[in-house]
């Protein structure tokens, strides 16, 4: 078998055979299939799709490329969450310790930024000393002692996905539903969690722009998880507007700590609690009260232990960008739209994301939001503050923002989109 024949099959809208899928995933993992060949295949999949049989086999081949973990020795039920990615989506940071504070074990294997969306590991690495890479033994120890761990997937867990995940980010193939579904579910199934809640974003700042595409992705992943014996449910959540009031690594960590301290933006709190309830229900902990655990400080206690257990200092000052640029409201009225995609692209251009898989990110780069849709604004007041260490990036970032918001006359009716739009089980 050879890579060219596999690429041609999908290029010509054919169905990949189980043998072709098994071979190409194994050969790519071993380095026999080059990045440029897998890039061509990924683009063909993006353009021509895969059927359910192909997706299931692709996912199984990704799992088979590495090891599978087992949390059977833990005294707590395991439950996990995965987001398909958005702008300002820092939910994992307060959510994992919150669910752990309610009695579950949360083995949260997270990733880095993809395109205009932020990555949980990039955010947490802005905390001095914090380590994303743990051995399996270290991961189990942190999970056992604190109830939650957020870390990178080990090299042995779905290594085919680790290579393909980075490649998709820089080849314009992030949005392919078969590749998103198999990437997420191969890691989550191999991870060995007993229950999984999927946060499938929909809107301009998500990879799924329409509710129909989000339903398709969610249904595909729920089926993959259920067929593999993992209790799986999905929430379709709004990503037309950035989540919270920040987009950027250290900025989002700071906001997450505010939520754990009993404050923070309402949309972040609402979604954190909604996902926590789903995770606890799936883990069989239906009587747990995440709202109480957030209010009484127990979730913050778990956060501090979790960060410390991975070498971080929960009391350390977070990085702050050296340069800021303020965008002011051009008129007074009601802010009726703030486009998540435009804000995400601008934050990425400021240094919060990466253009190539080997690029570093700036911990302090990103954007602060001073108003959200529905808020009344006054001409001249700050709308957005851009942060970066490299001021020459401002001009490029600003080009993403014209037309990114609308201000209607004062008194214009405004109806907010609910943060949770649908549930798929």
Known active-site residue 2: no
User: Could you say which of 163, 168, 201, 277 is catalytic?
Assistant: 168
Which residue in 10, 81, 82, 215 is the catalytic one?
82
Catalytic residue from among 81, 163, 187, 354: 187
- The Cα–Cα gap between 321 and 383 comes to 18
Burial state string for 326-351 with b = 16 or more CB within 10 A and e = fewer than 16:
ebebeeebbbbebbbbbbbbbbbbbb
Residue 141 among the catalytic residues: no
Verify whether residue 201 is a known catalytic residue: no
d(CA 378, CA 331): 6
Distance, CA of 347 to CA of 387 (rounded, Å) = 8
Q: Are 285 and 122 in contact (CB under 8 A)?
A: no
Residue 205, judged by CB atoms within 10 A of its CB (0-12, 13-18, 19+), counts as buried
Residue 369's CB is within 10 A of a number of other CB atoms, namely: 24
Which residue of the set 126, 182, 183, 256 is catalytic? 183
C-alpha 176/C-alpha 192 separation (Å) is 25
82 labelled catalytic: yes
- Separation of alpha carbons 167 and 135, rounded Å: 24
User: Is residue 286 packed enough to be buried (19+ CB in 10 Å), middle (13-18) or exposed (0-12)?
Assistant: exposed
Per DSSP, helices labelled H in 150-248 are: 159-169, 177-191, 211-227
Catalytic annotation present for 292: no
**Residues with active-site annotation:** 82, 161, 168, 183, 187
């Amino acid at each position: 078998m050879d890579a060219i024949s596999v690429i041609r099959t999908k290029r010509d809208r054919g169905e990949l055979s189980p043998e072709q899928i098994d071979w190409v995933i194994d050969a790519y993992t071993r380095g026999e299939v080059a990045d440029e060949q897998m890039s061509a295949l990924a683009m063909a999949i993006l353009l021509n799709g895969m059927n359910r049989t192909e997706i299931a086999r692709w996912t199984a081949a990704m799992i088979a490329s590495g090891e599978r973990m087992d949390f059977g020795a833990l005294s707590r039920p395991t439950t996990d969450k995965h987001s398909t990615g958005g702008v300002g989506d820092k939910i994992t940071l307060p959510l994992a310790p919150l669910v752990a504070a309610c009695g579950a074990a949360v083995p949260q294997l997270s990733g880095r930024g993809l395109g205009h969306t932020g990555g949980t590991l990039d955010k947490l690495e802005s905390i001095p000393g914090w380590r994303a890479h743990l051995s399996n033994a270290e991961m189990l120890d942190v999970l056992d002692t604190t109830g939650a761990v957020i870390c990178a997937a080990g090299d042995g867990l779905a290594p085919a996905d680790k290579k393909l995940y980075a490649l998709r980010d820089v080849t314009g193939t992030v949005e392919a539903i078969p590749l998103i579904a198999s990437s997420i579910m191969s890691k989550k199934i191999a991870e060995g969690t007993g229950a999984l809640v999927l946060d499938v974003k929909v809107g301009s700042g998500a990879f799924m722009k329409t509710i129909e595409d989000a339903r398709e992705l969610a249904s595909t992943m729920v089926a993959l998880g259920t067929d593999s014996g993992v209790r799986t449910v999905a929430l379709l959540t709004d990503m037309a507007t950035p989540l919270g009031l920040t987009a950027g690594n250290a900025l989002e960590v700071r906001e997450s700590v505010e939520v754990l301290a009993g404050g923070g933006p309402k949309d972040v709190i609402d979604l954190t609690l909604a996902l926590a309830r789903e995770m606890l229900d799936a883990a069989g902990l239906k009587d747990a009260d995440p709202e109480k655990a957030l209010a009484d400080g127990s979730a913050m206690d778990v956060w501090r232990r979790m960060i410390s257990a991975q070498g971080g200092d929960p009391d350390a000052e977070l990085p702050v960008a050296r340069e800021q640029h303020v965008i002011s409201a051009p008129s007074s009225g009601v802010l009726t739209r703030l486009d998540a995609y435009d804000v995400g692209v601008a934050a990425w251009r400021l240094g919060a994301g990466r253009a190539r898989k080997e690029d570093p990110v700036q911990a302090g780069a990103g954007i602060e939001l001073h108003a959200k849709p529905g808020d009344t604004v006054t001409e001249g007041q700050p709308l957005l503050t851009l942060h970066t260490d490299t001021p020459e990036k401002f001009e490029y970032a600003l080009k993403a923002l014209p037309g990114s918001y609308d201000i209607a006359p004062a008194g214009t009716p405004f109806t907010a989109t609910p943060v949770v739009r649908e549930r798929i089980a």
